[in-house]
Amino acid sequence: MNDFFAMGGYAAYVWPSYIIAVATIAGMAIQTVTAWRRAQERLQALEKDAAQPTSQP
């Protein structure tokens, strides 16, 4: 197990590489989905607004 983490002595290079690669892709993925959800919510709110009659007394 320790051998696995040690990566033949190159642990300081291999693990940061993998972590950065995975974290960057995951980060972009999360940001993608979040922006998508926000855009959906905003559009739904606007469409609801537009469907309602103008709020005048």
Partner 1 sequence: MNDTAILHRYANPKAFSDLAASITPIAGIIALALFAIGLPWSLIIAPADYQQGDSARIMFVHVPAAWMSMFVYSCLAGCAIATLVWRHLLAEAALRAAAPLGAAFTAVALITGSLWGKPMWGAFWVWDARLTSVLVLFFIYLGIMAIFSALEESGKAGRAAAILTLVGAVNIPIVKFSVDWWSTLHQGSSVFRADGPKMAPEFLYPLLIMALAYMAVFFWMWLIRIRTEILVRRAASLEAAR
Which residue in the set 2, 50, 53, 57 belongs to the binding site for partner 1 (CB under 8 A)?
50
Q: Are 45 and 37 in contact (CB under 8 A)?
A: no
Which residue in the set 14, 52, 56, 57 belongs to the binding site for partner 1 (CB under 8 A)?
14
Binding residues for partner 1, per CB under 8 A?
Answer: 4, 7-10, 13-14, 16-18, 20-22, 24-25, 28-29, 32-33, 35-36, 39-40, 42-43, 46-47, 49-50
